Amino acid sequence: MTSGQKKGTFSILVIGIFLGIILWGGFNWALAITNTEEFCISCHEMRDNPYEDLQDTIHFTNRTGIRATCPDCHVPKEWVHKIIRKIQASKELYHHFIVKDLDTPEKYEAKKLQLAQNVWRTMKKTDSRECRNCHHFDSMDFERQESRSADRHEEAIEKGYTCIDCHKGIAHTLPEGYDPGDDAPGGEDEG
């Protein structure tokens, strides 16, 4: 290897590292921006409907002053799952820009059951992964819970229920067409 070749390899390496930092950093930066509540509610569909809906619930205001924002519940934290979710989000862009089937509160209301069921299905499939970013059975002190809650949580651990089996409609109001009285907790009827 001549000294000229050596110099060439070296400069390619330096440029590569530099470009790598810029591109990778930029990618992560862009990803982080799309992962903020501000970004989510920059679309009026989100701002006027689910965000409005969230504000009445305990995930928005509560005794201890902790707030869950949209991505806390709707975007996975682990990198691979996060990227998959981000790619799936292109469908949301498609509906926003091209189909436009959620652009009025009436249209949103009409589709709300279907949208909710999509989220419930995903939560069920992932064993309520996003809930468990904050809520762990391991960190729950059953002694401090109401007896009913403690009993049901113990049962849930035993039988392998997942959060969303019982806790539907806790961060958004329930959609029309869903009857809480018909949905036996745990997903099965033992009554």
Partner 1 sequence: MKKIIHISLAAFGLLLITSNTVIAKEDIASLRGTEDLSGASLKATKKKIISQEGGFERSYKQQPPMVPHKVEKYKITLKNNGCMKCHSKKNHKKEKAPMVGESHFLSRDGKKLQKLSSRRYFCNQCHAPQIDANPLVKNEFDGLK
Residue 141 beta carbon to partner 1: minimum distance, rounded to whole angstroms: 17
Q: Residue 160: how many CB atoms within 10 A of its CB?
A: 9
Q: Which of 128, 118, 122, 138 is nearest to 161 (CA)?
A: 128
157 counts as binding partner 1 under rule CB under 8 A: no
Compute and round to an integer the Cα radius of gyration of the chain. Answer: 22
Q: Which of 4, 65, 160, 181 binds partner 1 (CB under 8 A)?
A: 181
126 counts as binding partner 1 under rule CB under 8 A: no
Q: Which of 171, 163, 169, 164 is nearest to 70 (CA)?
A: 171
The DSSP 8-state label assigned to residue 173 in this structure reads P
147 counts as binding partner 1 under rule CB under 8 A: yes
Q: Which of 28, 114, 176, 187 binds partner 1 (CB under 8 A)?
A: 176
Residue 138 beta carbon to partner 1: minimum distance, rounded to whole angstroms: 23
66 counts as binding partner 1 under rule CB under 8 A: no
Nearer to partner 1 by Cβ, of 74 and 168: the residue is: 168
Give how many residues touch partner 1 by CB under 8 A. Answer: 23
Residues 24 and 96: their CA atoms lie apart, in Å, by: 28
Binding positions for partner 1, 7-36, rule CB under 8 A: none
Residues 146 and 139: their CA atoms lie apart, in Å, by: 16
In total, the chain counts a number of residues equal to 191
Residue 49 beta carbon to partner 1: minimum distance, rounded to whole angstroms: 14
Backbone angles phi, psi at 189, to 5 degrees: -100, 115
Q: Which of 106, 143, 158, 189 binds partner 1 (CB under 8 A)?
A: 189
3-state secondary structure of 4: helix
- Which are the contacts of 169, defined by CB distance < 8 A and separation ≥ 6? 178, 180
Nearer to partner 1 by Cβ, of 90 and 147: the residue is: 147
Per CB under 8 A, which region of 46-54, 78-86, 116-124, 176-184 contacts partner 1?
Answer: 176-184
178 counts as binding partner 1 under rule CB under 8 A: yes
Site for partner 1, rule CB under 8 A: 58, 146-148, 169-170, 173-186, 189-191
